[in-house]
Amino acid sequence: MSSRALAIALVLAVIVGAAVYLTAARPAPRAAAAPSVLPALDPARVSRITLEDDRGTFAIERTPAGLWQTAPLAPGAAPWPIDPVRIRRALKALAEADAQTAQKAPPPADVATLSLALDSDAHWTLAIDLARLAGRARAWAGESPVTINAEVADLWTRPGPAAWRDIAALPGVGAETARITLRSASGEIRLARFRNAWRVTAPISARADDAAVQALLDALGKITVARFDAEPRAFTPWLGVTIESDAREAPPGAEPRVLTRTRSLAVGPPDASGQRLAPATPDQGASAILVNAESLADLPTDALAYASRSAAQTIPADVGMIVITPAADSADPRPERGFRRGIDGWQSLRDDGTLEPVDDAPINDILDLLSARISPDLRAGDLGGAFEPLFTVRLLGFADEPLEALELGRVTLVAGADLAIRTPGVAGANTPGVTRVYPGAELPSLLAP
């Protein structure tokens, strides 16, 4: 090949290579932008959702605390918590819906109208056709319709936000509950939690049995809604429940505050079916629901069932001092005695203020009786003349701070006298304490005559 031919070939090769490079580097033509159902919808900014269809209007809203609940459905109706996971899933599906242009046509009469209000006061409205064709549904955000996946449309219309309500009949009952009130034909029972310890506060005053309170919370938590928006009907409440929880909030620039959330439920008599369905209202009749009350079948309505069967609420390890005082009319000749716990064990307090080491076992026997012995027989009140006081035992902490005081004595109920421990009620509140009876038990050796 001549040098001239070689040069020509090289030039042609360069031209062809440049053409190939430019063709590969040229950007592909842009596809037409896919239509959007609701352009620039940000699910995080949605603050209220309303759905209108042939069933009526249903609305939910976001609270300042970021929780979702039903908007008032009727005057006086209690708001109902909404499952936040289902809201986020539905809003995300709507924002990312695969929208396709549809033939222009006005919305039919049979549509569900979805309205979304945003934090910025912006407002979106979407009409969703209730008919489905080839896995798609038409939707109108303006004059021109689009089609979206039927699965997305079904999230909002079949049945839609009404199905997102929490099915717990007492939403929020559980670990955060601070107070419980039960009302039945037997009367009213009130329980309250103080420093993570439960107490029965009415109609008696007593330390509560933790297992009994937990069983109560479990039973209340298992009451589920079988049907919302039930037909209202009059009924005589078989059980009334009110639960309260306290939440500490610290708004920006404001003093911290404690907000109390209250939830009530009045339950009518269950039917005779195996499901034990019962009419109920969470708001004094403003709305009606049907609940599954099976978990309430064996719910105790006697306050003593929730009282601790051991007398003392103080654990022995917290006791730094014990003071034993004979009852005023007791025949026991011994004076008041005090015992202090030291590094090496218990010591007796002498009259001159000095300490004398004593055997630990008799004192530990008293603490065991007060805090660990289970009474099979609890009685409300002081039993009047049936109770014969023998000693008052005061428990103090390691800094001599008072912890509690209990009365030991004998009680005569049927035949013979049994050991009993009486805990005080609330003075001036007409709330009696509890007397725990220990049939066949003897006084600890330190208290025996």
Domain ranges of the chain: 43-164, 177-306, 316-438
- Mean per-residue pLDDT for 371-396? 91
Cα 237 from Cα 279, distance rounded (Å): 9
Which pLDDT does position 29 carry in this prediction? 47
Q: How confident is the model at residue 389 (pLDDT cuts 50, 70, 90)?
A: very high
pLDDT tens for residues 290-314?
Answer: 999 888 888 999 999 999 999 999 9
Cα 33 from Cα 392, distance rounded (Å): 86
Say if residue 332's pLDDT is above 90.
no
Range name among 25-39, 140-154, 202-216 with the lowest pLDDT average? 25-39
Which pLDDT does position 21 carry in this prediction? 47
Is-contact 425 204, C-beta < 8 A? yes
Q: Could you tell me the CA-to-CA distances from 99 to 70, 102, 158 in Å, in that order?
A: 29, 9, 19
Say if residue 11's pLDDT is above 50.
no
Is-contact 173 261, C-beta < 8 A? no
pLDDT tens for residues 166-189?
Answer: 999 998 888 889 999 999 999 999
> What are the DSSP calls for 136-170, one per residue?
EEEEESSSSEEEEEHHHHHHHHSS-GGGGB--BSS
Phi/psi of residue 386, each to 5°?
A: -70, -20
Q: How confident is the model at residue 231 (pLDDT cuts 50, 70, 90)?
A: confident
Q: How confident is the model at residue 4 (pLDDT cuts 50, 70, 90)?
A: low
Which pLDDT does position 153 carry in this prediction? 93
Which pLDDT does position 340 carry in this prediction? 96
Say if residue 285's pLDDT is above 90.
no
Is-contact 278 169, C-beta < 8 A? no
Contacts of 322 (CB under 8 A, 6+ apart): 338, 339, 363, 366, 367, 393, 394, 395, 396
Which pLDDT does position 39 carry in this prediction? 66
Burial class (CB in 10 A: 0-12, 13-18, 19+), 58: buried
What is the percentage of the chain residues whose pLDDT exceeds 90? 54
pLDDT tens for residues 124-155?
Answer: 899 999 999 899 999 998 778 899 999 999 99
Is-contact 170 159, C-beta < 8 A? no
In the three-class reduction of DSSP (H, G, I as helix; E, B as strand; rest coil), residue 178 is classed as strand
Contacts of 75 (CB under 8 A, 6+ apart): 286
Q: How confident is the model at residue 210 (pLDDT cuts 50, 70, 90)?
A: very high
pLDDT tens for residues 257-275?
Answer: 778 888 999 999 888 766 6
Encode 203-224: b = buried (16+ Cβ within 10 Å), e = exposed. Answer: bbbbbbbeebbebbbebbbbbe
Most confident of 107-111, 119-123, 210-214: 210-214
Which pLDDT does position 427 carry in this prediction? 67
Q: How confident is the model at residue 122 (pLDDT cuts 50, 70, 90)?
A: confident
Which pLDDT does position 116 carry in this prediction? 92
Say if residue 35's pLDDT is above 70.
no
Which pLDDT does position 2 carry in this prediction? 58
Range name among 180-189, 278-287, 352-361 with the lowest pLDDT average? 278-287
Q: How confident is the model at residue 24 (pLDDT cuts 50, 70, 90)?
A: very low
Q: Which CATH architecture has domain 43-164?
A: Sandwich (2.60)
